[in-house]
Amino acid sequence: MRLVLSFFRKIDKAGFEGKRAGLAGMAYKRKGREMETRIVKIKDKAAVRDEELLEAAEVLRNGGLVAFPTETVYGLGGNALDERAAEKIYAAKGRPSDNPLIAHISCMEELSGLVREIPEAGKKLAAAYWPGPLTMIFPKKENVPYETTGGLDTVAVRMPSDPVASRLIRLAGVPVAAPSANTSGRPSPTRAEHVIEDLNGKIDMIIDGGQVGIGVESTIVDVSGPVPVLLRPGAVTMEMLETVLGHVEVDPAISGPVSKDVRPKAPGMKYRHYAPKADMTLVEGEMERVIQYINEETRKARQAGKTVGIICTEESRGQYPEGILEVIGSREHEETVAHNLFAVLRDFDRREVDCIFSESFSRDQLGQAIMNRLCKAAGYHIIKV
Protein backbone atom coordinates (compact mmCIF):
# COMPACT_ATOMS: atom_id res chain seq x y z
CA MET A 1 0.00 0.00 0.00
CA ARG A 2 2.78 2.41 0.90
CA LEU A 3 4.49 1.65 -2.38
CA VAL A 4 1.34 2.42 -4.34
CA LEU A 5 0.83 5.68 -2.49
CA SER A 6 4.36 6.92 -3.07
CA PHE A 7 4.02 5.94 -6.74
CA PHE A 8 1.00 8.22 -7.06
CA ARG A 9 2.79 10.96 -5.20
CA LYS A 10 5.59 10.84 -7.77
CA ILE A 11 3.16 11.08 -10.68
CA ASP A 12 1.54 13.99 -8.94
CA LYS A 13 4.82 15.83 -8.58
CA ALA A 14 5.97 15.09 -12.13
CA GLY A 15 2.66 16.44 -13.41
CA PHE A 16 3.24 19.59 -11.42
CA GLU A 17 6.78 20.02 -12.82
CA GLY A 18 5.43 19.74 -16.37
CA LYS A 19 2.70 22.28 -15.78
CA ARG A 20 5.11 24.69 -14.11
CA ALA A 21 6.99 25.50 -17.33
CA GLY A 22 3.81 26.55 -19.12
CA LEU A 23 2.53 28.48 -16.16
CA ALA A 24 5.61 30.67 -15.80
CA GLY A 25 5.14 31.86 -19.36
CA MET A 26 1.46 32.53 -18.80
CA ALA A 27 2.17 34.62 -15.69
CA TYR A 28 4.32 37.02 -17.64
CA LYS A 29 2.00 37.25 -20.63
CA ARG A 30 -0.96 38.35 -18.52
CA LYS A 31 -0.83 42.11 -18.61
CA GLY A 32 -3.35 44.89 -18.27
CA ARG A 33 -6.80 44.92 -16.75
CA GLU A 34 -8.97 41.95 -17.40
CA MET A 35 -11.70 41.90 -14.77
CA GLU A 36 -13.67 44.13 -12.46
CA THR A 37 -12.08 44.18 -8.98
CA ARG A 38 -14.58 44.89 -6.20
CA ILE A 39 -13.17 47.04 -3.37
CA VAL A 40 -14.79 46.59 0.03
CA LYS A 41 -13.96 49.10 2.75
CA ILE A 42 -14.07 47.89 6.34
CA LYS A 43 -15.58 50.56 8.62
CA ASP A 44 -13.98 49.64 11.92
CA LYS A 45 -11.36 46.92 11.72
CA ALA A 46 -11.39 46.00 15.41
CA ALA A 47 -15.17 45.55 15.29
CA VAL A 48 -15.44 43.98 11.82
CA ARG A 49 -18.80 42.26 11.23
CA ASP A 50 -19.41 38.97 9.42
CA GLU A 51 -21.73 40.70 6.90
CA GLU A 52 -18.79 42.77 5.66
CA LEU A 53 -16.81 39.62 4.81
CA LEU A 54 -19.40 37.05 3.72
CA GLU A 55 -19.08 37.84 0.02
CA ALA A 56 -15.28 37.68 0.13
CA ALA A 57 -15.46 34.35 1.96
CA GLU A 58 -17.70 32.99 -0.80
CA VAL A 59 -15.29 34.21 -3.50
CA LEU A 60 -12.50 32.28 -1.73
CA ARG A 61 -14.61 29.13 -1.38
CA ASN A 62 -15.44 29.30 -5.09
CA GLY A 63 -11.80 29.44 -6.16
CA GLY A 64 -11.51 33.24 -6.60
CA LEU A 65 -8.85 35.67 -5.31
CA VAL A 66 -9.30 38.22 -2.50
CA ALA A 67 -6.61 40.60 -1.21
CA PHE A 68 -6.96 41.29 2.52
CA PRO A 69 -5.08 43.03 5.34
CA THR A 70 -3.00 41.11 7.87
CA GLU A 71 -0.96 42.54 10.75
CA THR A 72 2.25 42.27 8.64
CA VAL A 73 1.42 43.22 5.04
CA TYR A 74 -1.60 42.76 2.72
CA GLY A 75 -2.01 39.21 1.42
CA LEU A 76 -3.41 37.93 -1.89
CA GLY A 77 -5.66 35.05 -0.82
CA GLY A 78 -6.97 31.96 -2.58
CA ASN A 79 -8.09 28.50 -1.39
CA ALA A 80 -4.84 26.74 -0.37
CA LEU A 81 -6.31 23.33 -1.19
CA ASP A 82 -7.37 24.31 -4.73
CA GLU A 83 -4.54 24.02 -7.25
CA ARG A 84 -6.29 26.30 -9.72
CA ALA A 85 -6.58 29.06 -7.11
CA ALA A 86 -2.82 28.76 -6.49
CA GLU A 87 -2.16 29.03 -10.24
CA LYS A 88 -4.32 32.16 -10.41
CA ILE A 89 -2.26 33.71 -7.58
CA TYR A 90 1.01 33.13 -9.47
CA ALA A 91 -0.50 34.59 -12.63
CA ALA A 92 -1.91 37.72 -10.93
CA LYS A 93 1.41 38.46 -9.19
CA GLY A 94 3.58 37.50 -12.17
CA ARG A 95 5.39 35.26 -9.69
CA PRO A 96 7.50 32.22 -10.60
CA SER A 97 5.56 29.10 -9.56
CA ASP A 98 8.54 27.52 -7.72
CA ASN A 99 8.16 30.18 -5.01
CA PRO A 100 5.75 28.55 -2.54
CA LEU A 101 2.77 30.18 -0.81
CA ILE A 102 1.95 30.48 2.90
CA ALA A 103 -1.31 28.80 4.02
CA HIS A 104 -3.19 30.96 6.55
CA ILE A 105 -5.39 29.42 9.24
CA SER A 106 -7.65 30.82 11.98
CA CYS A 107 -7.26 28.19 14.75
CA MET A 108 -5.07 25.24 15.82
CA GLU A 109 -7.62 22.63 14.65
CA GLU A 110 -7.09 23.80 11.08
CA LEU A 111 -3.35 23.06 11.32
CA SER A 112 -3.80 19.30 11.52
CA GLY A 113 -5.69 19.38 8.21
CA LEU A 114 -2.54 20.61 6.47
CA VAL A 115 0.45 18.96 8.15
CA ARG A 116 1.61 15.36 8.69
CA GLU A 117 3.01 16.07 12.14
CA ILE A 118 3.53 18.98 14.52
CA PRO A 119 7.10 18.77 15.87
CA GLU A 120 7.75 19.84 19.47
CA ALA A 121 9.39 23.12 18.37
CA GLY A 122 6.27 23.92 16.34
CA LYS A 123 4.00 23.32 19.32
CA LYS A 124 6.08 25.58 21.54
CA LEU A 125 6.27 28.42 19.02
CA ALA A 126 2.55 28.19 18.24
CA ALA A 127 1.74 28.43 21.95
CA ALA A 128 4.00 31.47 22.34
CA TYR A 129 3.41 33.49 19.17
CA TRP A 130 0.22 32.38 17.37
CA PRO A 131 -1.87 34.15 16.34
CA GLY A 132 0.81 36.56 15.14
CA PRO A 133 3.55 37.43 12.64
CA LEU A 134 5.15 33.96 12.58
CA THR A 135 5.13 31.37 9.77
CA MET A 136 6.30 27.80 10.33
CA ILE A 137 7.34 25.14 7.83
CA PHE A 138 5.88 21.65 8.42
CA PRO A 139 5.85 18.36 6.49
CA LYS A 140 2.75 18.65 4.28
CA LYS A 141 -0.25 16.33 4.07
CA GLU A 142 -1.17 14.81 0.69
CA ASN A 143 -4.24 17.03 0.29
CA VAL A 144 -2.09 20.18 0.07
CA PRO A 145 -1.39 20.54 -3.66
CA TYR A 146 2.14 21.01 -5.02
CA GLU A 147 0.88 24.14 -6.77
CA THR A 148 0.54 25.70 -3.30
CA THR A 149 3.92 24.48 -2.00
CA GLY A 150 5.89 25.19 -5.18
CA GLY A 151 6.64 21.49 -5.60
CA LEU A 152 7.93 21.02 -2.02
CA ASP A 153 6.88 18.27 0.42
CA THR A 154 6.62 20.89 3.16
CA VAL A 155 4.00 23.57 3.71
CA ALA A 156 4.34 27.03 5.27
CA VAL A 157 1.54 27.87 7.74
CA ARG A 158 0.66 31.07 9.58
CA MET A 159 -2.17 32.08 11.91
CA PRO A 160 -2.60 35.86 11.55
CA SER A 161 -3.85 37.98 14.46
CA ASP A 162 -5.45 40.72 12.33
CA PRO A 163 -9.21 40.55 13.07
CA VAL A 164 -10.19 40.94 9.39
CA ALA A 165 -7.79 38.22 8.23
CA SER A 166 -8.74 35.85 11.01
CA ARG A 167 -12.49 36.23 10.53
CA LEU A 168 -12.26 36.00 6.75
CA ILE A 169 -10.38 32.68 6.96
CA ARG A 170 -12.90 31.30 9.45
CA LEU A 171 -15.87 32.35 7.29
CA ALA A 172 -14.25 30.94 4.14
CA GLY A 173 -13.97 27.56 5.87
CA VAL A 174 -10.80 26.73 3.91
CA PRO A 175 -7.10 27.45 4.60
CA VAL A 176 -6.13 30.57 2.64
CA ALA A 177 -2.90 30.62 0.60
CA ALA A 178 -1.62 34.19 0.61
CA PRO A 179 1.62 35.69 -0.61
CA SER A 180 2.10 39.42 -0.18
CA ALA A 181 -0.40 41.21 -2.46
CA ASN A 182 2.14 42.99 -4.68
CA THR A 183 3.35 42.42 -8.22
CA SER A 184 6.34 40.07 -7.91
CA GLY A 185 9.52 42.05 -7.21
CA ARG A 186 7.78 45.26 -6.06
CA PRO A 187 7.75 46.42 -2.41
CA SER A 188 5.16 44.57 -0.30
CA PRO A 189 1.84 46.42 0.20
CA THR A 190 1.09 47.97 3.57
CA ARG A 191 -2.03 49.90 2.47
CA ALA A 192 -4.99 48.99 0.25
CA GLU A 193 -3.85 51.72 -2.21
CA HIS A 194 -0.63 49.74 -2.82
CA VAL A 195 -2.67 46.63 -3.64
CA ILE A 196 -4.88 48.64 -6.00
CA GLU A 197 -1.76 50.00 -7.74
CA ASP A 198 -0.47 46.48 -8.45
CA LEU A 199 -3.50 44.20 -8.77
CA ASN A 200 -6.58 46.22 -9.77
CA GLY A 201 -8.27 44.44 -12.67
CA LYS A 202 -6.44 41.18 -12.01
CA ILE A 203 -8.25 39.77 -8.95
CA ASP A 204 -11.88 39.47 -7.77
CA MET A 205 -11.83 41.58 -4.64
CA ILE A 206 -9.73 43.84 -2.39
CA ILE A 207 -10.66 44.31 1.26
CA ASP A 208 -9.52 47.74 2.43
CA GLY A 209 -8.71 47.56 6.13
CA GLY A 210 -6.53 50.68 6.19
CA GLN A 211 -2.84 50.63 7.07
CA VAL A 212 -1.30 47.45 8.48
CA GLY A 213 0.41 47.51 11.89
CA ILE A 214 3.84 45.87 11.54
CA GLY A 215 4.83 46.60 7.95
CA VAL A 216 7.34 43.80 7.24
CA GLU A 217 6.38 40.21 6.40
CA SER A 218 6.20 37.43 9.00
CA THR A 219 9.19 35.66 10.52
CA ILE A 220 9.63 32.22 8.87
CA VAL A 221 11.00 29.30 10.89
CA ASP A 222 11.50 25.80 9.50
CA VAL A 223 10.49 23.34 12.24
CA SER A 224 10.37 20.30 9.92
CA GLY A 225 14.00 19.26 10.57
CA PRO A 226 16.02 18.27 13.66
CA VAL A 227 17.07 21.88 14.47
CA PRO A 228 14.77 24.89 13.93
CA VAL A 229 16.09 27.24 11.22
CA LEU A 230 15.23 30.92 10.75
CA LEU A 231 14.50 31.43 7.04
CA ARG A 232 13.23 35.04 7.08
CA PRO A 233 13.52 37.56 9.94
CA GLY A 234 10.39 39.45 11.03
CA ALA A 235 8.64 40.94 14.05
CA VAL A 236 9.00 37.70 16.03
CA THR A 237 12.72 38.32 16.51
CA MET A 238 15.60 35.85 16.79
CA GLU A 239 15.79 36.76 20.49
CA MET A 240 12.09 35.87 20.92
CA LEU A 241 12.59 32.53 19.11
CA GLU A 242 15.59 31.64 21.28
CA THR A 243 13.68 32.42 24.47
CA VAL A 244 11.26 29.63 23.55
CA LEU A 245 13.51 27.17 21.67
CA GLY A 246 17.05 27.68 22.92
CA HIS A 247 19.29 27.16 19.87
CA VAL A 248 18.01 28.33 16.47
CA GLU A 249 20.06 28.17 13.27
CA VAL A 250 20.03 30.96 10.70
CA ASP A 251 19.76 30.27 6.96
CA PRO A 252 22.72 32.01 5.23
CA ALA A 253 20.36 33.45 2.59
CA ILE A 254 19.19 35.95 5.23
CA SER A 255 22.41 37.90 5.45
CA GLY A 256 23.76 37.96 1.93
CA PRO A 257 23.01 37.57 -1.76
CA VAL A 258 22.28 34.00 -2.81
CA SER A 259 24.60 32.59 -5.47
CA LYS A 260 22.95 31.03 -8.52
CA ASP A 261 23.91 27.45 -7.66
CA VAL A 262 22.48 27.52 -4.12
CA ARG A 263 18.80 26.79 -3.54
CA PRO A 264 17.89 28.63 -0.32
CA LYS A 265 15.49 26.86 2.04
CA ALA A 266 12.88 29.59 1.49
CA PRO A 267 12.86 29.74 -2.32
CA GLY A 268 11.55 33.32 -2.18
CA MET A 269 14.87 34.51 -0.72
CA LYS A 270 16.62 34.05 -4.06
CA TYR A 271 14.56 36.57 -5.97
CA ARG A 272 15.29 40.29 -6.16
CA HIS A 273 12.70 41.72 -3.83
CA TYR A 274 11.23 45.02 -2.82
CA ALA A 275 13.24 46.61 -5.59
CA PRO A 276 12.60 50.33 -6.03
CA LYS A 277 13.03 51.52 -9.62
CA ALA A 278 16.01 53.75 -8.69
CA ASP A 279 19.54 52.53 -7.88
CA MET A 280 19.69 52.27 -4.11
CA THR A 281 22.78 52.46 -1.88
CA LEU A 282 22.73 51.54 1.79
CA VAL A 283 25.33 53.43 3.85
CA GLU A 284 26.56 51.79 7.03
CA GLY A 285 28.85 53.14 9.76
CA GLU A 286 29.11 55.77 12.46
CA MET A 287 26.17 58.23 12.07
CA GLU A 288 28.17 61.41 11.52
CA ARG A 289 30.22 59.78 8.76
CA VAL A 290 27.11 58.27 7.17
CA ILE A 291 25.44 61.69 6.96
CA GLN A 292 28.61 63.28 5.60
CA TYR A 293 28.98 60.57 2.93
CA ILE A 294 25.34 60.82 1.82
CA ASN A 295 25.58 64.61 1.59
CA GLU A 296 28.77 64.44 -0.52
CA GLU A 297 27.33 61.81 -2.88
CA THR A 298 24.03 63.69 -3.15
CA ARG A 299 25.87 66.86 -4.16
CA LYS A 300 27.86 64.99 -6.85
CA ALA A 301 24.80 63.20 -8.23
CA ARG A 302 22.79 66.42 -8.39
CA GLN A 303 25.64 68.16 -10.19
CA ALA A 304 25.47 65.33 -12.73
CA GLY A 305 21.78 66.20 -13.24
CA LYS A 306 20.30 63.36 -11.20
CA THR A 307 17.31 63.45 -8.84
CA VAL A 308 18.34 62.03 -5.46
CA GLY A 309 16.19 60.49 -2.73
CA ILE A 310 17.44 60.15 0.85
CA ILE A 311 16.04 57.75 3.45
CA CYS A 312 16.67 59.37 6.84
CA THR A 313 15.20 59.20 10.35
CA GLU A 314 13.41 61.59 12.73
CA GLU A 315 16.76 62.04 14.46
CA SER A 316 18.72 63.03 11.31
CA ARG A 317 16.15 64.80 9.16
CA GLY A 318 17.60 68.28 9.81
CA GLN A 319 21.06 67.35 8.55
CA TYR A 320 20.51 66.92 4.81
CA PRO A 321 20.49 70.26 2.96
CA GLU A 322 19.89 68.72 -0.51
CA GLY A 323 17.89 65.85 -2.05
CA ILE A 324 14.33 64.61 -1.56
CA LEU A 325 13.99 63.41 2.03
CA GLU A 326 11.76 60.56 3.24
CA VAL A 327 11.68 60.01 6.99
CA ILE A 328 11.44 56.25 7.49
CA GLY A 329 10.79 56.44 11.24
CA SER A 330 12.55 57.00 14.53
CA ARG A 331 15.65 55.13 15.76
CA GLU A 332 14.21 55.40 19.28
CA HIS A 333 11.22 53.33 18.14
CA GLU A 334 12.41 50.88 15.49
CA GLU A 335 8.90 49.53 14.95
CA THR A 336 8.11 52.84 13.21
CA VAL A 337 10.91 52.09 10.71
CA ALA A 338 9.44 48.65 9.90
CA HIS A 339 5.98 50.21 9.66
CA ASN A 340 7.00 52.80 7.01
CA LEU A 341 9.70 50.90 5.11
CA PHE A 342 7.78 49.63 2.06
CA ALA A 343 5.64 52.78 1.74
CA VAL A 344 8.83 54.88 1.57
CA LEU A 345 10.24 52.68 -1.23
CA ARG A 346 6.97 53.00 -3.14
CA ASP A 347 6.94 56.80 -2.65
CA PHE A 348 10.34 57.07 -4.27
CA ASP A 349 9.03 55.05 -7.25
CA ARG A 350 6.19 57.55 -7.60
CA ARG A 351 8.56 60.53 -7.40
CA GLU A 352 10.80 58.94 -10.03
CA VAL A 353 14.14 59.62 -8.38
CA ASP A 354 17.28 58.34 -10.16
CA CYS A 355 19.12 57.16 -7.07
CA ILE A 356 18.43 56.60 -3.38
CA PHE A 357 20.83 56.78 -0.44
CA SER A 358 19.65 55.19 2.79
CA GLU A 359 20.89 55.22 6.36
CA SER A 360 21.37 51.79 8.01
CA PHE A 361 20.12 50.25 11.25
CA SER A 362 21.43 47.90 13.89
CA ARG A 363 21.09 44.22 12.97
CA ASP A 364 19.67 42.93 16.24
CA GLN A 365 16.04 42.52 17.37
CA LEU A 366 13.64 44.06 14.82
CA GLY A 367 16.69 45.61 13.11
CA GLN A 368 17.49 42.20 11.61
CA ALA A 369 14.23 42.25 9.64
CA ILE A 370 14.62 45.92 8.71
CA MET A 371 18.19 45.46 7.43
CA ASN A 372 17.25 42.25 5.57
CA ARG A 373 14.58 44.17 3.58
CA LEU A 374 16.76 47.27 3.02
CA CYS A 375 19.74 45.15 1.88
CA LYS A 376 17.53 43.32 -0.62
CA ALA A 377 15.98 46.58 -1.82
CA ALA A 378 19.50 47.88 -2.44
CA GLY A 379 20.46 44.66 -4.26
CA TYR A 380 23.14 44.31 -1.49
CA HIS A 381 24.83 47.52 -2.65
CA ILE A 382 26.19 48.50 0.77
CA ILE A 383 28.89 51.11 1.44
CA LYS A 384 30.74 50.95 4.75
CA VAL A 385 32.09 54.35 5.86
Cβ atoms of 194 and 341 within 8 Å: the answer is no
What separation, in Å, do the N-terminal and C-terminal C-alpha atoms of the chain show?
Answer: 63
Residue 217 in the binding site for ligand TXA (CB under 6 A): yes
Phi and psi at 166, nearest 5°, equal: -60, -45
Residue 100 in the binding site for ligand TXA (CB under 6 A): yes
Choose between 149 and 180: whose C-beta lies nearer to Mg ion. Answer: 180
Residue 162 in the binding site for ligand TXA (CB under 6 A): no
Residue 166 in the binding site for ligand TXA (CB under 6 A): no
124: helix, strand or coil:
helix
Residue 266 in the binding site for ligand TXA (CB under 6 A): yes
Query: What is the contact surface with Mg ion in residues (CB under 5 A)?
Result: 180
Instruction: Supply the minimum distance, in Å, between the C-beta of residue 309 and ligand TXA.
Output: 25
Q: With the C-alpha atoms ordered 161, 163, 165, 166, is the resulting torsion angle positive or negative?
A: positive
Instruction: Supply the minimum distance, in Å, between the C-beta of residue 268 and Mg ion.
Output: 6
Cβ atoms of 154 and 142 within 8 Å: the answer is no
Distance CA 54, CA 62 (A): 12
**Residue (of 160, 137, 150) closest to 220 by Cα position:** 137
**Residue (of 160, 254, 253) closest to 214 by Cα position:** 160
**Residue (of 274, 264, 237) closest to 376 by Cα position:** 274
Q: Among ligand TXA, Mg ion, none, what does residue 72 contact (CB within 5–8 Å per kind)?
A: ligand TXA
Residue 283 in the binding site for ligand TXA (CB under 6 A): no
- Interacting span for ligand TXA (CB under 6 A) from 36-44, 112-120, 147-155, 330-338: 147-155
Instruction: Supply the minimum distance, in Å, between the C-beta of residue 272 and Mg ion.
Output: 12
Choose between 235 and 283: whose C-beta lies nearer to ligand TXA. Answer: 235
Choose between 236 and 294: whose C-beta lies nearer to ligand TXA. Answer: 236
Phi and psi at 230, nearest 5°, equal: -80, 120
Distance CA 105, CA 167 (A): 10
Residue 73 in the binding site for ligand TXA (CB under 6 A): yes
Judged by the rule CB under 6 A, the positions of this chain that interact with ligand TXA are 70, 72-73, 75, 99-102, 135, 137, 149, 152, 154-156, 158, 178-180, 217-218, 220, 231, 265-269
